Amino acid sequence: MKLSPDQIDIYDRDGFLVLENFVDGKDCDRLRARAAELVSDFDPQGVVSIFSTHEQTRTSDDYFLESGDKIRFFFEEHAFLPEGRLRQSKEQSINKIGHALHDLDPVFDTFSRAPEIKQMVSDLGIADPLLLQSMYIFKQPRIGGGVTCHQDATFLLTEPLRMIGLWFALEDATVENGCLWAMPGGHKLGLKSRFLRAEGGGTRFEVFDNTAWPEEDLRPLEVRKGTVIVLHGLLPHLSRENTSARSRHAYTLHIIDASARYPESNWLQRGPKMPLRGF
């Protein structure tokens, strides 16, 4: 399925592209079932890594920083009681799984390397694609945490910038259960910050522009199950908390071009035994 010139023009103009019915419903269900199996097999004993974009540097522990070539599990910010016990079941407490599902799990590997995805990123200028990062995001009912307005290039910069984010809706995404919000044309505003590994351990932000995002320009992207949203690396976007009774499962991929340099200062790194692979 090649993208049309009109679709490419929309992506260039808005910084994102919404493609409905890109994924068959059975493939969505297959990913959801596999994620459930992975969580079921996960033993959380001694693992309390919480994903939060509100205090990113504080929550960047070694478990998180060493996850670039592993499958690891991260809890919702509000999953725990003050004494440290989970408020509800493990299955209802996980925020996301990351960040190498596409290389280490056969179900996610098959999905992530579909020829339709390769064709799409090629149409958008990624000539020699490498699959950099994957995440399965649960957006749990009632406690699914929000993600503050950000640009993916802040976390996964390439030089020059040749990176695309793919957000696959595995369930219907609405305002009520925490759909994406995007700023049309916001990718033309430039990079506001970088999230880097700090000397001596941990992480830090390098800020180029500390003015607030014009969040009044954001618009909700309510989409049906099976839709993919293609995100430019500089596009400002967010998702709000899920306070509804319905989950909002999604799978994300970030793909870079092998011709671009991937800096060692980026937080996400891999060991030498698992180099990045393409399709």
The two three-digit tokens of residue 221, written as one number: 């992207």
Nearest Cα to 19, choosing from 188, 163, 164, 217?
164
User: Looking at residue 56, what is its pLDDT?
Assistant: 45
Domain boundaries, the chain: 5-257
- Tell me, rounded to whole angstroms, the distance of Cα 141 from its chain centroid: 19
> Is the separation of the CB atoms in 124 and 165 below 8 Å?
no
Question: According to the model, what pLDDT value does residue 58 have?
Answer: 43
* Per-residue model confidence (pLDDT) at position 242: 96
Query: What would the 3-class secondary structure string for the chain be?
Result: CCCCHHHHHHHHHHCEEEECCCCCHHHHHHHHHHHHHHHHHCCCCCCCCECCCCCCCCCCCHHHHCCCCCEEEEECCCCECCCCCECCCHHHCEEEEEECHHHHCHHHHHHHCCHHHHHHHHHCCCCCEEEEEEEEECCCCCCECCEEEECHHHCCCCECCCEEEEEEECCCECCCCCCEEECCCHHHCCCCEEEEECCCCCEEEEECCCCCCCHHHCEEECECCCCEEEEECCCCEEECCECCCCCCCEEEEEEEECCCECCCCECCCCCCCCCCECC
Both structure tokens of 243:
């306070």
What's the confidence (pLDDT) of residue 279? Answer: 97
- Which residues lie below 8 Å from residue 138, measured CB to CB, with a gap of 6+? 35, 94, 95, 96, 144, 247, 248, 249
| Residue burial 175-196, b: 16+ Cβ < 10 Å; e: rest | eebbbbbbbeebbebebbbbbb
Question: How much is the pLDDT for 59?
Answer: 47
| Predicted pLDDT at 85 | 79
Per-residue pLDDT of the chain (279 residues; tens, 9 = 90+): 899 999 999 999 999 999 999 999 999 999 999 999 999 999 877 665 555 544 444 445 888 999 999 999 998 888 888 877 788 888 999 999 999 999 999 999 999 999 999 999 999 999 999 999 999 999 999 889 999 999 999 999 999 999 999 999 999 999 999 999 999 999 999 999 999 999 888 899 999 999 999 999 999 999 999 999 999 999 999 999 999 999 999 999 999 999 999 999 999 999 999 999 999
Phi, psi of 63 (to 5 degrees): -60, -40
- In whole angstroms, what is the distance from residue 265 CA to residue 198 CA? 8
Bridge partner residues of 165 (DSSP):
231, 254
Residue-level pLDDT at 48: 58
pLDDT for the residue 82: 81
Return d(Cα 279, Cα 109) in angstroms, integer.
10
CATH number of 5-257: 2.60.120.620
Closest to 132 (Cα-Cα) out of 107, 159, 106, 165: 165
Backbone angles phi, psi at 50, to 5 degrees: -105, 130
* Predicted pLDDT of residue 46: 65
Q: Is 177 in contact with 225 (CB distance < 8 Å)? A: no
